[in-house]
């Protein structure tokens, strides 16, 4: 996040924080799905609001939104209107996960704008 904020400040760019939330659970019956979806959306909005407060940077303006959908699909869609998509590398699976997470890899392959993958160490 620090890298993206520094770039935004340098370029006087607006930052859009996107939190993708996907309600998964075949175990949830349809009657409970709407209620669970609302609970999940509120939790995602609360998490995003905390992030916005934590990353406030003088000279950088923010938009923030919660979007229901898979992280890859949501980020690819957001890339249509972006000059740059910055994603973290948080791979968790096997050898490939050491370098690039599946979300960051798929974003790099399919985004509509340049993509920067920032490792957790940065």
Both tokens assigned to 43: 């939790």
Pick among 3.40.50.12780, 3.40.50.620, 3.20.20.110, 1.10.10.10: CATH of 70-122 = 3.40.50.620
Q: Which of 109, 114, 1, 21 is nearest to 71 (CA)?
A: 21
Predicted structure pTM score: 0.80
Location of each CATH 3.40.50.620 domain in the chain: 70-122
Q: What CA–CA distance (Å, rounded) separates 39 from 100?
A: 31
Residue with tokens 């709407």, as numbered in its chain = 34
pLDDT one-digit tens code per residue, 20-72: 887 665 556 666 666 777 788 899 999 999 999 999 999 999 999 999 888 99
pLDDT greater than 80 at residue 101: no
Q: What CA–CA distance (Å, rounded) separates 89 from 87?
A: 7
DSSP symbols for 47-62: HHHHHHHHT--TT--E
């Amino acid at each position: 996040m620090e890298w993206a904020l520094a770039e935004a400040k340098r370029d006087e760019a607006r930052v859009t924080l996107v939190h993708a939330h996907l309600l998964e659970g075949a175990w949830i019956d349809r009657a409970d799905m709407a209620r669970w979806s609302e609970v999940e959306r509120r939790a995602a909005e609360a998490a995003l609001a905390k992030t916005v407060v934590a990353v406030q940077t003088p000279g950088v303006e923010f938009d923030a939104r919660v979007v229901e959908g898979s992280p890859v699909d949501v980020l690819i869609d957001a890339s249509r209107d972006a000059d740059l998509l910055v994603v973290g590398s948080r791979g968790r699976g096997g050898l490939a996960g050491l370098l690039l997470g599946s979300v960051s890899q798929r974003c790099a392959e399919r985004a509509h704008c340049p993509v920067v993958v920032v490792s957790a160490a940065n």
